[in-house]
Structure 1
Amino acid sequence: MTHSIRIVGALALLLVAGCSGEEKRQAVALQPLTVKEQVSSIVKGDDGYAVNWAGVLVNANRWHFGEHVVATVVAKDARGNEVVRIEQPLDAVPPAGTLPFSGQVVVEDKPADVSIQYRPARWHQAGRIVSAFKPFPVSDVMTDRKDDGAYLITGYVGSPYVLPVRSLAVTALLRDKRGKLLGGGSTFADDVQPGEKRRFILQIKSVEDTGEIATAEVTARTWGSSSRPYEQLAFGGVIPANTAKPTTPPFTRDRGAQLTVNGDSRP
């Protein structure tokens, strides 16, 4: 083996070691998603037992989306037998953001216990800084408690982006007067055009005591387990803050004209 070959081989080993070390540092730096809060409830209905669950996941990583997260919901009866097992794919969790989510299922046998487990996220480095991912505005939220125990939520959702949004997931988290999470519900708002609003309607019947509900915390996000829909919107840009045309006539002379020494150049 020649001297030059030994040098090339040593450099290659150093490069591989350096890349491996960098990958390990990135892996260590990425923090797993954390469960900020979660709750479940069981309500007897005409068709069986409605199991409702809701929670909030937190992504502490400022440069990465948490993708392909799956919540596994298991309900067992009083003897410990499983009466339901559901895998719920969750939407992508934005960098330095949260993911409110909810779900519901109706079963015949009465559950006694509900547990939720989460599959670890796959990480995708964001193509934009955190401030580029604008929230979707929710407005005119109204709530109504029905006589049959249902809780009705209506409102409007819009988009700050130039590109149209194919589908947004709208989630309402229900809280009591102390801020404790009681449950939630989700729906969709499709074909949200730039500068326009889409109405949403949510009817939740699976919370144990709707009389305890004090607030409905409503948020909207892109639908899908990957970051692609959100990133495409961010790449397309946001709607300018001021889009109205001027109503006054233009100046007869440019205000930026150079001032002459011997006279007043104001228009």
Structure 2
Amino acid sequence: MILHSRTVSLLALGALGAICLPGCSSEDKPEQALKPLALKEQVSNIVKSADGYAVNWAGVLSNANPWHFGEHVVATVVGHDARGTEVVRMDQPLDAVPPGGSLAFTGQATSAEKPAKVTIQYRPAKWRPAARIASAFQRFPISRTQTLRQKDGTYLITGYVGNPYQLPASSLVVNALLRDKAGKLLAGGSTFVDDVKAGSPPRFILTIGGLPASTKVAKTEISARTWGSTGRPYEDLALGGAMPVHTVKPTTEPFAVDRSTEVVTQHKE
């Protein structure tokens, strides 16, 4: 009788252990796979130059991951002639792509022969969790912009870039993308501004060339971002805090009596 009881107990313990194993496992669950960056748009223009041909390009990378920076991204620009022979190749290190955001980039290279086709590819990003939520990475405001077509067919773009954060931004990249009436990307250009402090927006000036004479530009899309292959500069600004939205003291006199207290008192009576 005692032997039978011990056998039943052992069988019960074995069954309990089998049930507990899947739920009590200490192994960590695999992390959710991150989505790769997406090259949403790309365009290139080729013009004759003193050294051969100037190849200009612009593109937009999108990051669908709301909690991670896409870092150490490198774009590879390749041009082939009409026979399919490679005539130009350039690796362009890009700035970090913010969480849930996008990255506009532009570049230029010189080719001895005229490319018939130019393509942009990129190496996969290295992902790093962001120190703040996506909404903490605010846009750098752009104001008082002008787009002026010059006599030589180039476009002169000017404006001012602000800083929404309390800490100064040591260096920002300003990108301008030209679009037609339908929103199609036509060309782009970039420049740098340094020591950008809140309340003192510096002026930027850049030139975009290489467009055909028949091109009709309907819109200029301008954005600014921190410079560097990692998101650390952007994170440092966000961790330092944003400037308060309302910085002007009210000019009206305060109420002599708190109206909310008065209403509550009357309601009780």
Shared fold (TM-score, shorter chain, > 0.5):
yes
Matched residues, percent identical? 61
| Partner SS, residue 109 of structure 1 | coil
2:221 corresponds in structure 1 to: 217
For residue 94 of structure 2, what is the amino acid of its counterpart?
Answer: L
2:66 corresponds in structure 1 to: 62
1:265 corresponds in structure 2 to: none
2:52 corresponds in structure 1 to: 48
1:104 CA drift (Å): 1.2
1:4 corresponds in structure 2 to: none
Mapped pair 1:31 → 2:39 = no
Counterpart selection for 1:234 from 233, 238, 244: 238
Mapped pair 1:139 → 2:149 = no
Distance 2:111 2:182 in 1: 31
1:254 CA drift (Å): 7.7
Mapped pair 1:124 → 2:128 = yes
2:174 corresponds in structure 1 to: 170
What is the 5 A alignment of 1:77-226? 77-209=81-213, 211-226=215-230
For residue 237 of structure 1, what is the amino acid of its counterpart?
Answer: G
Distance 1:223 1:109 in 2: 32
Mapped pair 1:74 → 2:69 = no
1:208 CA drift (Å): 3.1
Distance 1:65 1:105 in 2: 28
| Partner SS, residue 234 of structure 1 | helix
Which runs of 5 or more structure 1 residues have no equivalent in the other structure?
1-6, 260-267
Q: Which structure: larger Rg?
A: 2
1:249 CA drift (Å): 6.6
Distance 2:238 2:38 in 1: 25
Render the CA deviation track for 1:135-175: whole Å, top value 9, x for unaligned: 00001110111111111111110010000001111111111
Distance 2:203 2:143 in 1: 10
Render the CA deviation track for 1:120-147: whole Å, top value 9, x for unaligned: 0111111111111110000111011111
1:262 corresponds in structure 2 to: none
**What number of residue pairs does the alignment pair up?**
242
Distance 1:152 1:78 in 2: 32
CA contact (8 A) 1:151 1:210 kept: no
Residue 41 to residue 192, structure 1, CA distance change in 2 (3 Å): same
CA contact (8 A) 1:171 1:186 kept: yes
Distance 2:150 2:36 in 1: 40
| Partner SS, residue 188 of structure 2 | strand
CA contact (8 A) 2:88 2:110 kept: no
For residue 81 of structure 2, what is the amino acid of its counterpart?
Answer: D
CA contact (8 A) 1:150 1:210 kept: no
TM-score, with length taken from structure 2: 0.82
CA contact (8 A) 2:178 2:188 kept: yes
CA contact (8 A) 1:145 1:210 kept: no
Which runs of 5 or more structure 2 residues have no equivalent in the other structure?
1-16, 263-269
For residue 153 of structure 2, what is the amino acid of its counterpart?
Answer: G
Distance 2:51 2:167 in 1: 42
Distance 2:118 2:155 in 1: 22
1:232 CA drift (Å): 0.4
User: RMSD between aligned alpha carbons?
Assistant: 2.4
For residue 125 of structure 1, what is the amino acid of its counterpart?
Answer: P
Deviates more, 1:202-211 or 1:130-139: 202-211
